[in-house]
Every structure is written in structure tokens, then in C-alpha cells.
Amino acid sequence: MKKIAVMAGDGIGPDITEQAVHVLNAVEEKFHVRFQYEYVLAGGAAIDQCGEPLPAETVAVCKNCDSVLLGAVGGPKWDIPGGPRPEQALLGIRKELKVFSNLRPAKIFPQLKSASPLKEEILADGVDILIVRELTGGIYFGKNGIRANGLSAFDTEEYSITEIERVCRRGFEFAEKRNHKLCLVDKANVLESSRLWRKIFTGIKSDYPEVETSCMYVDNAAMQLVKCPSQFDVIVTSNMFGDILSDEASMITGSIGMLPSGSLGASNLGIYEPIHGSAPDIAGKDMANPLATILSAAMMLRYSFDMGEAADCIEAAVDSVLDEGWRTADIMQEGCRLVGTRQMGQLVASRI
């Protein structure tokens, strides 16, 4: 039995996590496995009930589970100057669970290819990329400050060998589970920290002889993602570079409501969530697209539970539903059939 902490959060969070659980229940029946769900408060919902975005009880439950399924947090209701912020729950739970690698897939579904801003000929070979971003180090967490009465400011990029090696090994492990192809993105022609990244990456690649490796400067990688995204399979990179490149890759797909993500540490305990926000304007209206959350659940099965066949089954079910022309409002196309959040979840579950 696997224990899953369900952190529904705010806005459409409860709507979309409900459908992901519905699909996981179908997986239980098909694959004869057992999931136990522990529902916990986080974000604005936790502020309303407990006065803080990440209660200690939530942290304790999550640490006692095998993985966390997160909906979304935030909304204008909690935009109060000086007050607690729902987003603090995300940073807090990542820190408490010691996750250091953020997994951001960017996949173009053939059925939604027209939503991409790229020309069709560029997409001919498909796009299916996994960006592995270092999550707890680098310039976002380095020393920073303001000098000379505000006339200058500084932020420091610093990485240890341990921080680099552990996320690079994650990249190699994911490449082994996919197409055995891994690209390190850095700025080793300029940055000393990037030269250390390249040294560590090159030093451990012999431990993964079946993985084809390459290195690319970040400015070139940004261009290549637009010019020929199909050349990439798994990308591993630093915190800031990963932040920028994963957002670029998500826009290439043209369908933000379809994109999942995950965060992992040294163990298999991970946090899985869609990349989109809480969309409070459509909360409770049966309008939200649950597919990114459902696909996040598939990632959880693959990367935290080592249930690759079940993950494949969910992804195939999503493909099947799209092939049949079912669409939520955010991905609606001419000639397709409009459905709401609940029906979309039911359709995917039925295809399981």
C-alpha cells in the first residue's frame, strides 16, 4: 500500500485533485494495488483554518507518506500586505521534504499541436522533453545584498560538489528510464560554477555507460529549444537556468493546462503538481482542466512508486480521450466536444 498526501490547496486545486484521485482509483482496480489518501491543508485554505500556510500537522503527515499530490495554492483573497502568503506553503514543504530536483516535462500532444507557437515543420518529429532543474542551490539561495547606499547590488551563484552531483545523477537516472540521452546546460565558457558543473557531470558519466551525453551553453540551448526541440530528451541544469528554460519549454507546447511537474530529493518521496496556478475565477464551476494534475499523478507512479506500466496506462488514457475529441475550455478546438472537469476525469478513468 502506498500512502499519498493530497494537498488540494486553493482555487481549482480541490477540483483537479479530485479527478486525479478518481483516475488513481481506476489504477488501483486495474493493477491490483492500494493507495491510501491523507488530505492535508496548505496555502490559503490553511491560512483560513489555521492562520498559517503550512501547519505543522500537514508537514508531519507528508513526511509519513510515500508521496504528495498537490493541486494549486494562492489567490487574490490572501494578497494582504504583511500577511501570510499561500505560496509560502510551497517553499516550506519543499524544504521540509528536502527535495532538490524539479522535474518539468514539456510534451506536445499531437492532438494539440496547433496550439504551439512553433511552425508545424519544426514539430514534425514531436517534442517530449524532461528538464531536471536543481531546486535548492545557486543564485536564488546565495549571498545577496545592496552596497554603497543602494548604488550597487549583488547576488552570488555558488554550488557545492555534493549539490551538483546529486542532481546530475538524478538526470542520468531519468535518462535511463527514458531514451538514454542527457544534455547538461551550463555557461562554462564564462562562469566558474558552471565549469564545476561540467567537471562533475563529465566525471560521473562513466557510471551510466548506456546514456549518451552532451553539454550545451545556456544561450545556445534557449535558441535550440525553439529551432529544433526534438533534439532534446533529458536536460539537467542549475536552478536559474532551469527556471528560465522550463518556462520557455512550457510555452513551446502551447497548452499550459496539460503540463505536470514533480520534485524529488534523495528518497522516492516526491511532490507532484501541475505547473498552472489556482485560477480562482473558475473554482468550483466544473471548468478547470484536470489533465495536468492527472499526468502529475502518472509522474508520481513512475518516479516515486516505480510503477512505469501504470504511468504509461494513464498517459495512454489521456491520449485516447484527446484522440476522441474531448476538450476542456482551455484547450477547446473547432470540431471537438466540450466537457467539464468532472467529465474529463471520468473519461480518463474509464479508459484506464
Residues with active-site annotation: 140, 187, 219, 243, 247
Provide the b/e sequence for 14-50 (b: ≥16 CB within 10 Å).
Answer: bbbbbbbbbbbebbeeeeeeebebeebbbbbbbbeeb
Distance CA 69, CA 293 (A): 8
3-state secondary structure of 36: strand
* Contact present, 214 and 198 (Cβ < 8 Å): no
How far is residue 149 from each of residues 142, 143, 145, 153, 326, measured CA to CA in Å? 21, 18, 11, 10, 58
Nearest of 261, 232, 262, 255 to residue 330 by alpha carbon = 255
Sort 244 into a burial class: Cβ within 10 Å, 0-12 / 13-18 / 19+: middle
